[in-house]
Amino acid sequence: MSRSVRTRPEGSGQALSEAYDTALLDLDGVVYAGGSAIAHAVESLATARTGGMRLAYVTNNALRTPDTVAEHLTELGIPTGADDVITSAQAVARLISEQVPQGARVLVIGGEGLRVALRERGLVPVESADDDPAAVVQGYGGPELPWGRFAEASYAVARGVPWFASNTDLTIPSGRGIAPGNGAAVEVVRIATGAEPQVAGKPLPPMHRETILRTGAKRPLVVGDRLDTDIEGAFNGDVDSLLVLTGVTDGAQLLAAPPQHRPTYVDADLRGMLGGQPEVAEAGDGFRCGGWTARAGADRLELDGDGEALDGLRALCAAAWTAAGAGVCELDGGKSLAKLGL
């Protein structure tokens, strides 16, 4: 089946940690939330690693360095080295290095993660548009980033200096709720200049390329909680994905997912890596998974049976995605989701 018209979650007779050599794991909403480990994450990752799966942590957040991320994960009970962390700062630094001379100056609008990544590529971070930069790079700089930094970027970009962004996520989760992300900051410079940046982070190919170059993965599995970054990034990289429901995506969003946002597998949390995935099979004019059967009616999704709620959700996805084809499901699935307690 073409990945562009996925109509159901797939099954796997093998544990995913055995079927794939490397897990490319998102962090916030997958491994931790608000700085604390998500339930079952530490134990699940330890089991997968002991079984021979390589674990790599892939984040669009360009603020923290790989060393800082690795230290945080290790403190949570997940032994991690800096080489196991891939950031959008690294991806955008490689992208810049391929377009400017070695030793070129790059105006940095962001945090330490960007500066470290640029130096790794032999580039020189500078702070002012008057420092004759060969490029401008913008990444998340934290809530204390001064407004004047956007002006520096705008001055340089307006002069025609090439502009790069680590990512364009409009929001970022915090311990107090949802805060503006780097994408919101990028919009400030876009409005001021009318220019468009080259973007490296998920879901775009430069980020996937960076993860493969750094991990050497032959059969990677992307594990994430966001459809528009993690799952779309896997789609763009033509690799399989596991959506875990510990982060921002809920059942209704999953049912309505367009083709590029449809994961290969769906599970409640990272324990889904440790076992096989149930098959979603055709059953008459609908689909069966576990004890549930789902079909697409004229204007709603119909669900019958009992058993694990996740099996019902998988069956519903098959009915919804088949009905939508290459579009987006608009059938009312609210009552079906309520029946599952989702």
Q: Which residues pair with 28 in a beta bridge?
A: 32
User: Which residues, including other chains, have CB under 8 Å from residue 252's CB and lie 6 or more apart?
Assistant: 333, 334, 337
Q: Mark whether 26 is an active-site residue.
A: yes
Catalytic residue, from 26, 228, 230, 267: name it.
26
Catalytic residue, from 21, 28, 230, 332: name it.
28
Per the CB < 8 A criterion, the answer to whether 90 and 215 are in contact is no
CA 21 to chain centre: 19
Q: Mark whether 132 is an active-site residue.
A: no
Per the CB < 8 A criterion, the answer to whether 63 and 113 are in contact is yes
Omega into 203 within 30° of 0, i.e. cis?
yes
d(CA 38, CA 32): 5
Q: Beta 105-109 vs 301-305: how paired, if at all?
A: unpaired
Q: In what order do the strands lie in the sheet with 301-305?
A: 281-283, 286-289, 292-296, 301-305
Pair of tokens at residue 60? 């669009």
Residue with tokens 């919009």: 187
- Catalytic residue list: 26, 28
